[in-house]
Structure 1
Amino acid sequence: MKLIVDLKENSYPIYIENRILKHAADYISQVFTGKRIMILSDDQVYPLYGHGLKESLSSYECHTLVLPHGEQTKSFQTLPLIYSAMLEAKISRSDLVIALGGGVIGDLAGFAASSFLRGVRLVQIPTSLLAQVDSSVGGKTAVDLPQGKNLVGAFYHPRLVLIDPDVLDTLPRRFIHDGMGEVIKYGCIKDPLLFHTLKKHGSFENLKGQLASVICRCVDIKRAVVEADQFDTGERMLLNFGHTLAHTIEQYFHYGRESHGEAVAIGMYQITKLAEEKGLTPAGCAESIREVLEAYGLPCECGVSLSDLTAAITLDKKNLNNRLNVVLLHEIGDSYVYPTDAGFFEGEFLV
């Protein structure tokens, strides 16, 4: 399956195909004619797929940097290590960076590529479900600060995205669940049929036979949204459903307890429940979301007082001119942006 993100001079292809990783060099040669490549990966992914990728790229001068896995690596302090490795490898603006990994590596490598020498070509090869359905597409790159998630970043589109569903066979079960948080999000905001397909299958094991088509549907939704709103000022905000709370939950636990997809799951359910109480979303939506989240092994609560999370919400990127844009549902599959402020989240109850 081939999709094109049509952004004029920033357009790029996305290929979704089982075992495509073995043929990565054929696709990369279509978008890159230079000689040096820097592969950025982590210590869990590289032993599985990095050596094979590097061998397939034997006609190029390949360099590698393998970083520790986990959200803690996606920090401002990691960037000098990447820049030093790129300098040592003599990477120039005519060369290429490949992000081989999940969302952390994709975001981190993307931001490093965007900022090194004011821009080096980038290819995304996402190896987690979350990265395949969401973070590898759309050009958002970032690192975290102690005060919040993704507060330093840039819009920087790849030249190519290669998605191989087969690599998910080696993904730990928890991170299958993690990725399903974003898959369920797409059903909630844009596609009631996808949501009901997920509900009908009832588990990842039952869904697996349709996994490539589910990934493709999520990517196609994101492609359309990004084409309509490249810089996240309008419709693209809908992709942040659940994220206003999710990012604060991740930060509250110093990125060490809930994964991103787990935090998004909690955020989607809790925000929808709040919206129902305020009469902004019809009754029953939160319960439908809870049923699907639990079917796919995702949490709906984290046991933290809402008041303990609100300070970080004021630093959220979606907080513009003291106005906070929260994504809510008209119904499952139909979302909207609700302008409000941090007072939307006032309360002493547990989330």
Structure 2
Amino acid sequence: MKLDDILNTDSKAAVSPSINAQSMLLDMRIKGQDQHYEIHIGDNALGQLQTLLKGRRCAIVSDDTVWALHGKTLCQALQLHPEAYEQIENWGQVHNETLCLSPTSNECLTPTSTECLSPTSILCQSSDTNFNKLLSISVLPNGEGSKNLEQLTRLYSDFVRAGLTRRDLVIAFGGGVIGDLAGYAAASWLRGVSFVQIPTSLLAMVDSSIGGKVAIDLPEGKNLVGAFHQPKAVLIHPQFLDTLPVRQLRDGIAEMVKAAMIRDEELLPMILNQFRDLPQNQSKDSPAKHNRSQPTQQISALPEINALLKRALSIKKNVVEADEKETGDRKLLNFGHTLGHAAESRGGYSALTHGEGVALGMQWITRLSEQKGLSEPGTSAYLESALAQLGFETAPPLDFPALKDWVLRDKKMTESGLEVILIRKPGEGYVYPIASKDVDAFFKVNTPDLI
């Protein structure tokens, strides 16, 4: 099929009838490991919490935006004691606080000034074994700026205060930032405790919540401190998308486009059919976290949203199952990320959202690869046309010298050089090694305008 034909295809005929009312299930099995975990997609996904907990205690990590919007939904799904519901309700609207619950008795504990790094409320709860036990709720500031050592240290302090043990469970309740941060805290706490991903953003649902990559940022670069720590389960509740601002929604769309370009050409017209009518972003001069424009319709009501989520997830699932530690095909998932992460880092993690960075990175690297004869003619125009229809800006000319320092600190750097992900043709990504001495020459372009 020609590129123009694919972009203009009505994808409604390519998918099954709407099954939004049902839950879909994917089973993640990592090669060479006995353990596996389930990915539940649909309105009934949160109901799996009862099976996962099985009397285990849990600690929630969320951000102030997600908790204000959806905290009550999660608490109801946890089936806590009525007294706990009442006291959480009395805790009220919080910003960047930790709520600790007494794990052993009905007696409330009194914190000292040195026991937590953050404002702390203490909540007592019943010891009734018929209800799940919640140890703590850590509410962090929303945004990429929280994915740092300071907030990680705060979580450790919260876990100490709550009495979190190896038998307990951490619930990562939020977008990609919370999933990465809470996941890394779980991976490193007591040399590893179990955690469950409950993603609330499209980016987290289709990408970051599965695969076990968890990390924090440093001023010197994105995701430089991290681990591979697979979740116990991933629970995807599409209704959380209905409160997601358009700019953050496009973060996930960018990752879906990435998946289509590296492995599934037929996915792209499906994405266009569902998301091409989103309203345009507000001014890029507005900080990402304040851009609250909403879609004109509920995302969870889109006719094929569950099927679309499952198809996009399946691409990453299949790649990760065969290559958990990124020694082979998992590298393909980094398409657009080397330059995209560099642009994010250069902007201090506030000028661009992750999806905007990835969209720029995909365009830049595909332009370069096509100029060098490493991609089929028309691939770059195909990608840029699709991104434009989805509301992304056309990338300006690449200024590699401005990004070089961050690129050279990228995780894809090896002792012999840099590995970049290129697209031979839509749906076919591949790893292309660049020797250290050739990096500057590879990224050289004719118009070094500033980005």
Q: Does 1:99 align with 2:172?
A: yes
Shift of 1:349: 1.8
Shift of 1:346: 3.3
Counterpart residue number, 2:14: none
Q: Secondary structure at the match of 1:157?
A: coil
Counterpart residue number, 1:20: 45
Shift of 1:195: 1.6
Shift of 1:105: 0.2
Q: Does 1:37 align with 2:58?
A: yes
Is 2:270–2:308's contact at 8 Å kept on the other side of the alignment?
A: no
Letter in 2 for 1:346: K
Unmatched runs of 5 consecutive residues or more in structure 2: 1-23, 81-130, 279-296
Counterpart residue number, 1:349: 448
Is 1:324–1:339's contact at 8 Å kept on the other side of the alignment?
A: yes
Per-residue CA shift, 1:54-82, capped at 9, x if unaligned? 23321222110000000010012211100
Query: Residues 198-237 of structure 1: matches in 2 within 5 Å?
Result: 198-199=271-272, 203=276, 208-237=302-331
Q: Secondary structure at the match of 2:173?
A: strand
Counterpart residue number, 1:9: 34
Q: Sort the Cα spacing of 1:293 and 1:60 in 2 relative to 1 into closer, same or farther, 3 A.
A: same
Is 2:167–2:193's contact at 8 Å kept on the other side of the alignment?
A: yes
RMSD of aligned C-alpha atoms? 1.7
Counterpart residue number, 2:367: 273
Counterpart residue number, 1:309: 403
Letter in 2 for 1:30: T
- Structure (1/2) with the larger helix percentage: 1
Is 1:195–1:333's contact at 8 Å kept on the other side of the alignment?
A: no
Counterpart residue number, 2:206: 133
TM-score normalized with structure 2 length: 0.74
Shift of 1:294: 1.0
Is 2:338–2:410's contact at 8 Å kept on the other side of the alignment?
A: yes
Counterpart residue number, 1:148: 221
Letter in 2 for 1:14: I
Q: Distance in 2 between matches of 1:71 and 1:302?
A: 24
Q: Distance in 2 between matches of 1:32 and 1:19?
A: 16
Letter in 1 for 2:361: G
Counterpart residue number, 2:90: none
Counterpart residue number, 1:72: 145
Letter in 2 for 1:141: V
Q: Which moved more, 1:54-63 or 1:206-215?
A: 206-215
Shift of 1:292: 0.9
Q: How many pairs are equivalent?
A: 347
Q: Does 1:183 align with 2:256?
A: yes
Q: Which moved more, 1:94-103 or 1:163-172?
A: 163-172
Q: Secondary structure at the match of 1:12?
A: strand
Q: Distance in 2 between matches of 1:42 and 1:129?
A: 16
Q: Sort the Cα spacing of 1:65 and 1:162 in 2 relative to 1 into closer, same or farther, 3 A.
A: same
Is 2:262–2:426's contact at 8 Å kept on the other side of the alignment?
A: yes
Higher Rg of the two aligned structures: 2
Q: Distance in 1 between matches of 2:275 and 2:247?
A: 16
Equivalent residue for 2:245, pick from 172, 189, 199: 172
Letter in 2 for 1:268: M
Q: Secondary structure at the match of 1:44?
A: helix
TM-score normalized with structure 1 length: 0.95
Per-residue CA shift, 1:69-118, capped at 9, x if unaligned? 00010012211100000110000000000000000000000000000001
Query: Residues 117-132 of structure 1: matches in 2 within 5 Å?
Result: 117-132=190-205
Letter in 1 for 2:355: G
Q: Distance in 1 between matches of 2:394 and 2:362?
A: 8
Letter in 2 for 1:5: M
Letter in 2 for 1:345: F
Q: Distance in 1 between matches of 2:62 and 2:277?
A: 26
Unmatched runs of 5 consecutive residues or more in structure 1: none
Per-residue CA shift, 1:4-29, capped at 9, x if unaligned? 001233310000013533x2xxx123
Counterpart residue number, 2:127: none
Counterpart residue number, 2:346: 252
Q: Distance in 1 between matches of 2:351 and 2:65?
A: 19
Query: Residues 48-87 of structure 1: matches in 2 within 5 Å?
Result: 48-57=69-78, 58=80, 59-62=131-134, 63-87=136-160
Counterpart residue number, 1:112: 185
Q: Sort the Cα spacing of 1:295 and 1:36 in 2 relative to 1 into closer, same or farther, 3 A.
A: same
Is 1:100–1:126's contact at 8 Å kept on the other side of the alignment?
A: yes
Counterpart residue number, 2:389: 295
Percent of paired sites with the same residue: 43
Query: Residues 238-249 of structure 1: matches in 2 within 5 Å?
Result: 238-249=332-343
Is 2:397–2:448's contact at 8 Å kept on the other side of the alignment?
A: no
Q: Secondary structure at the match of 1:300?
A: coil
Shift of 1:31: 2.9
